[in-house]
Structure 1
Amino acid sequence: MTNENMTIPPDDLQRNLTVARPNDDQNLPHIGLAGDTYTILLTGENTAGQYCLIDMLVSPGGGPPPHRHAFEEMFTILDGEIEVTFRGEQSVLRAGETANIPADAPHSFRNKTERPARLLCMCSPAGQEAYFMAVGIPLSSRITPCPKLDEAAQAALKAKAEALAAQYRTEFLHP
């Protein structure tokens, strides 16, 4: 299709500008998950289902276990660094760098440093934010640490995450 044959649909006046202020807006959902704090900046409801945007504060040693899902996922590192494992190969991402994880590809990430890392995570299409809200622990702010859980609470959270994973197009990978 050439540009001259493309038409842009009219403006959808039912949709409005959404502004997310993660440091100031206490109405944003702040979720404790896997030892980290995730703030849901934009939901599928805000973007007509196109994507969601999540502000992640990843503690030292934090990050999800190996998994894959049926949607694209992009990370932009705002501060610190994380190690991404993609199809078994590691790459270190530092502030200012971006990585895209294709749908269905096995991956994980980990903060292997001694200080928190902050990143933006965009998932397309939207839906991952609903999974995080269904599984995670509500927190009061973007910088509230995820509570330390005892073994029983960790096991219960892991079981809940695994039980809901398929509903949200996610699969955990076990060695």
Structure 2
Amino acid sequence: MTDPEPQIPPDDPRRQLAVVRPAVDDDLSHLALAGDIYTILLSGKQTDGRYCLIDMRVPPGGGPPPHRHDFEEMFTILEGQLRFTFRGEDVLVNAGETVNIPANAPHFFRNVSDQPARMLCMCTPAGQDEYFLEIAAPVESAAATPPEISEAEQNARRQKAARLAAQYRTELL
């Protein structure tokens, strides 16, 4: 006796088509974080927690501190060049290229050029979007300049990010 063919689950009519038009959607969340501007294009709420998609604008010198988390993270570079440090090894990634960070691996990225960089980041499953909403400062648009904040405010934000990291399956290194 052979096992029956696996069946695809039925369509879930509760889930809707999501179309994001950043040029006209004024309800997107734009966030200033670590000197970068992140726009949440698709949240975990919109994808039933399967993934989130974030448009990241990274100025020269920008990027997060070393960290790791228990979810996959894929970056497609749209503009510019970034240096990704993965398990202590550096790799330059240029516009048109994609890099995938496996779950649990230590990593970070930095814009080492003198030009702004832009990339799409997909996290699967979702959750990073919620973390960013908790720790980042809202800004008006993707083209906004990150707000000037004092050293005390920077320290307070770093402490909040560290305090909430485990809740969002992240470890700051």
Normalising to structure 2: TM-score of the pair?
A: 0.95
Hey, what does 1:14 align to over in structure 2?
A: 14
Distance 1:78 1:84 in 2: 15
Moved over 4 A (4+): none
What root-mean-square deviation, in Å, do the aligned CA atoms of Structure 1 and Structure 2 show? Answer: 1.0
Hey, what does 2:121 align to over in structure 1?
A: 121
Residues 1:72 and 2:72 are matched in the alignment: yes
Hey, what does 1:164 align to over in structure 2?
A: 164
Hey, what does 2:102 align to over in structure 1?
A: 102
Which amino acid in structure 2 is aligned with residue 117 of structure 1? Answer: A
Normalising to structure 1: TM-score of the pair?
A: 0.94
Which amino acid in structure 2 is aligned with residue 105 of structure 1? Answer: A
Which amino acid in structure 2 is aligned with residue 127 of structure 1? Answer: G
Which amino acid in structure 2 is aligned with residue 35 of structure 1? Answer: G
Distance 2:117 2:23 in 1: 16
The unaligned stretches of length 5 or more in structure 2 are: none
Q: Give how far 1:6 is off.
A: 2.5
Distance 1:55 1:45 in 2: 17
SS across alignment from 2:12: coil
Q: In the alignment, is the contact (CA less than 8 A) between 1:68 and 1:103 conserved in 2?
A: yes
SS across alignment from 2:39: strand
The unaligned stretches of length 5 or more in structure 1 are: none
Q: In the alignment, is the contact (CA less than 8 A) between 1:23 and 1:142 conserved in 2?
A: no
